[in-house]
Amino acid sequence: MKEKVQDAINRIRPNLQADGGDVALVDVTDDGVVKVKLLGACHGCPMSQMTLKMGIQKYLVKEVPGVKEVVSVS
């Protein structure tokens, strides 16, 4: 599943990079939690939680069976 998650992240990465941000995959747990690190302009942005939940999480849950949640780690 980790490879499928990485492929999906690679597809949405240009959208984040267009605004000066980025995201890196840290881990995918057995229970479907995807851990990512927000980078660039996304790191510390007041809208980062919205981007994480309404953008990245929504997309990954739709595209990769088994993904239940996306969380940001430091």
- The C-alpha atoms of residue 1 and residue 49 are separated, in whole angstroms, by 24
Domain range annotation of the chain: 2-72
| pLDDT on residue 43 | 86
Q: For the chain, what is the mean pLDDT?
A: 95
Q: What is the pTM of this model?
A: 0.92
CATH 3.30.300.130 fits 2-72, yes or no: yes
Binning pLDDT at 50, 70 and 90, where does residue 74 land? confident
Q: What tokens appear for 66 in the block?
A: 């088994």
β 21-28/69-72 pair status: unpaired
Residues 6+ apart with CB under 8 A from 18: none
| pLDDT on residue 44 | 84
- The C-alpha atoms of residue 51 and residue 20 are separated, in whole angstroms, by 13
